[in-house]
Amino acid sequence: MKKKVLYVDDEYPNRITFQITYRNDVDIILADSADDALDILDEEKDIEVVITDLRMPGKSGLDLIREAKITYPDVRFCLLTGFEVTSEIKEALDSKLLEQYFRKPFERSQILDFVKG
């Protein structure tokens, strides 16, 4: 059975690229904002992994993770971003808020290993 992954990114081309890249490996649900992602997490109880962009209008990816982790402590969270590791990302990794960080452009196999791990 394929793992169910929620991918959150405010940019449509990024969402479609992710979906095309992993469609044969995992079940992908797409969200275009942190609030949309929270609604989806409430509805889809079998999501195992959330991969989110860092910078989005409104709530950031880290805001999403902070909020979602309270209600969904068993879901694995990671960032996929075009930014270098910032102090905010490092702190999230050190505190185990965030399990992994990937840099755009991403390596297909690295993310797949994380999802399947």
Among 50, 17, 25, which Cα is nearest to 112's? 25
pLDDT at 104: 84
The secondary structure of residue 75, as a DSSP letter, is S
Domain residue spans in the chain? 4-116
How many residues would you count in the chain? 117
Q: What is the pLDDT along the chain (117 residues), one digit of tens a residue?
A: 789 999 999 999 999 999 999 999 999 999 999 999 999 999 998 999 999 999 999 999 999 999 999 999 999 999 988 888 889 999 999 999 999 999 988 889 999 999 988
Contact indicator for 41, 71 with CB cutoff of 8 Å:
yes
At 106 the pLDDT is: 83
pLDDT of residue 117: 84
* 4-116 carries CATH number 3.30.70.20: no
Question: How far is residue 11 from each of residues 49, 53, 57, 116, measured CA to CA in Å?
Answer: 20, 9, 10, 25
